[in-house]
Amino acid sequence: MVKWTEEERRIVRGVWEKVDIDEIGAELWARALIVYPWIERYFGSFGDIFTTTAILNNPKLAALGKVVLSALDTAVKNIDNFKAMYASLSRQHYEKIKVDPDNFRLLAECITITIACKLRAELSPQVQATWQKFLSAVVEAMSSQYKLKKKKKKKSRPDQTWRKFSIE
Amino acid sequence: MLSKKEKKLIKEIWERLTPVAEDIGSEALLRMFASYPGTKTYFSHLDISPGSAHLCSHGKKIVLAIAEGAKDISQLTVTLAPLQTLHAYQLRIDPTNFKLLSHCMLVTLACYLGSEFTPVAHAAMDKFLSAFAAVLSEKYR
């Protein structure tokens, strides 16, 4: 379990307070798709994402960015126990969407850089380090359900045959 | 693979950063030491506290080497030949650390350039720094 000092909690909240979910959300996936184009494989139903202009103006990507940041808001507000809250999200990404979990790390890097462009000098080296510690915990929570399901062991029943014959 | 447009963009950005090489380089190093404390193990012989002479001169050296590589990206192997030898046979820095410094360099550039560090500029710079790191570690084995 990740442990947080009061100072670290204050820093994470401080960064998050300055994030405009509409503004950053809109840019987030555009940056990820332009910098890491192979992510396109997960966006078959998002329409035109094949040129820089199309990516930057795609409303579905902007909407998805806000969804991601809303989930991040949950993590900021529940920094001590969001791993359990993220379990169903992790399972969904593993079993239904089938996302390579390395993409969580790539998106986290894009989130940091998008925020850096906005916050500039306010994202000092120490603030960056704490913010990245938080995002690493989020990435770990998103990867937590990427495991084989344990097969349920069949309960062995005792042999009842001898009892049936003894009554007679 | 970098397009002609991307090579031109990268060359322009590093030309702009050359006069502030010390600031950019020392900030990137400080970010790396704060986020990835294991990287400090390579600098036990230097004073890497914020604002120290060692940190500033080392940061400047790194940025000027990157800027030199950016002038003619197609000649990276020739330009970096002496640094390849230095890193492979003397410094022997684990090449995974190049990725960590590259990421911190990108964050430094984002903070310095703000909205000018567009997704297109980010992509080009990430590709260039990856290529730079790959060439730097070519002589490792």
Complex ipTM: 0.91
List own/partner pairs for B125-132 with CB under 8 A and 24 or more apart: B125/B10, B125/B13, B126/A35, B126/B102, B127/B1, B127/B2, B127/B6, B128/B2, B128/B6, B128/B10, B128/B70, B128/B73, B129/B66, B129/B102, B129/B105, B130/B102, B131/B2, B131/B73, B131/B76, B132/B66, B132/B69, B132/B76, B132/B80, B132/B102
Which two three-digit tokens encode residue B100?
Answer: 């960590």
Q: How far is B77 from chain A (nearest CA, A)?
A: 24
Reported pTM? 0.90
Q: How far is B35 from chain A (nearest CA, A)?
A: 4
Mutate one of A113, A130, A134 to test the B interface: name it (highest B CB count within 10 A).
Answer: A113
Q: How confident is the model at residue B39 (pLDDT cuts 50, 70, 90)?
A: very high
| Closest Cβ opposite residue B107 in set A55, A56, A128 | A128
User: What residue of B is the nearest CA neighbor of A33?
Assistant: B119
With CA atoms as reference, report the closest residue to B105 among A17, A19, A72, A113: A113
Read out DSSP for A6-43?
A: HHHHHHHHHHHHT--HHHHHHHHHHHHHHHSGGGGGG-
Which two three-digit tokens encode residue B26?
Answer: 């020392």
Query: Does residue A163 carry a pLDDT above 60?
Result: no
A112 CB within 8 Å of a chain B CB: yes
* A32-84 pLDDT, tens digit each: 999 999 999 999 999 999 999 999 999 999 999 999 999 999 999 999 999 99
Query: How many A-B residue pairs are in contact by the CB < 8 A criterion?
Result: 57
A53 CB within 8 Å of a chain B CB: no
* B88-129 pLDDT, tens digit each: 999 999 999 999 999 999 999 999 999 999 999 999 999 999
| Closest Cβ opposite residue A125 in set B34, B122, B126 | B34
Q: How confident is the model at residue A127 (pLDDT cuts 50, 70, 90)?
A: very high
List of chain B residues whose C-beta atoms are within 8 Å of the C-beta of residue A31 = 119, 122
With CA atoms as reference, report the closest residue to A111 among A40, A12, A43, A6: A12
Answer for the pair A139, A105: CB distance below 8 angstroms, yes or no.
yes
Which two three-digit tokens encode residue A152?
Answer: 């349920």
User: What residue of A is the nearest CA neighbor of B117?
Assistant: A117
Query: Does residue B8 carry a pLDDT above 80?
Result: yes
List of chain B residues whose C-beta atoms are within 8 Å of the C-beta of residue A35 = 119, 122-123, 126
B51 CB within 8 Å of a chain A CB: no
Residue A149: what pLDDT?
A: 72
Read out DSSP for chain A?
A: -----HHHHHHHHHHHHT--HHHHHHHHHHHHHHHSGGGGGG-TTS---SSHHHHHT-HHHHHHHHHHHHHHHHHHHTTTTHHHHTHHHHHIIIIIS---THHHHHHHHHHHHHHHHHHGGGS-HHHHHHHHHHHHHHHHHHHTT-SPPPPPPPPPPPP-HHHHHHH-
